[in-house]
Amino acid sequence: MQSRVRRGSTRWWSRASSPCWPRSSRSASSLLLLRRRRPEPTCSATTPRSRPSSACPTRGPDDSLKWLPLSVTERVEVMLGSLREIYPGVDVRRHIIGDPVTVSWEAEPHFMGAFKANLPGHYRYQHRLFTHFVQDSLPERHRGLFLAGDDVSWTAGWAEGAVQTALNAVWGVLHHFGGETHPANPGPGDSFDDLAPITLPD
């Protein structure tokens, strides 16, 4: 299935002298709130603080398009300025020990979007993906593989769809191995006949 929504991001990578994001200055929840209007700072979580690491700040889809005409140097300066607002007491610049590399996915020749969105006529394919966790009607040789992720759901690009299909897959695995849910707390497959999306004719 091809995407009809072209969304992407701009990222830059640089070698850093150490994992440069302080562990206690901001909570994970505050960074999640900032992630759409600020770069998403990522460092190697397993790297000891005394060893070189890598930095990979990211700009989301809307801001990313505005970055296309900027040079690598200009992008890095904007990123560092935003990071100063998030970490006012941290000098991120002094940790950069390599030449930054930057990529805007929208400028790549074969970029097809960050996540898929169904085209007209793709309903039947999405239906098959989403309902795949209920496998009693499948030939036995096709059972036992369970799919999960936002693209398997009806809400591609959103965490809700990833969580929903993960719960469906967990129920599928449970059922596949002969398990059952508690009668007072039925799983998605137990209520499938009532909740399943409409099946359209081929």
Amino acid at 89: G
pLDDT of residue 184: 95
Q: What is the dihedral of CA 67, 73, 74, 77, to 10 degrees?
A: 110
Gap between the Cα atoms of 58 and 70, Å rounded = 15
Q: Would you call 78 helix, strand, or coil by DSSP?
A: helix
pLDDT of residue 47: 46
Phi/psi at 68 (nearest 5 deg)? Answer: -55, -45
pLDDT of residue 138: 94
pLDDT of residue 32: 36
Gap between the Cα atoms of 168 and 156, Å rounded = 16
Query: Average pLDDT per run of 10 along the chain, which is 202 residues long?
Result: 43 54 44 42 48 60 74 84 80 78 79 75 92 95 94 86 95 96 95 91 78
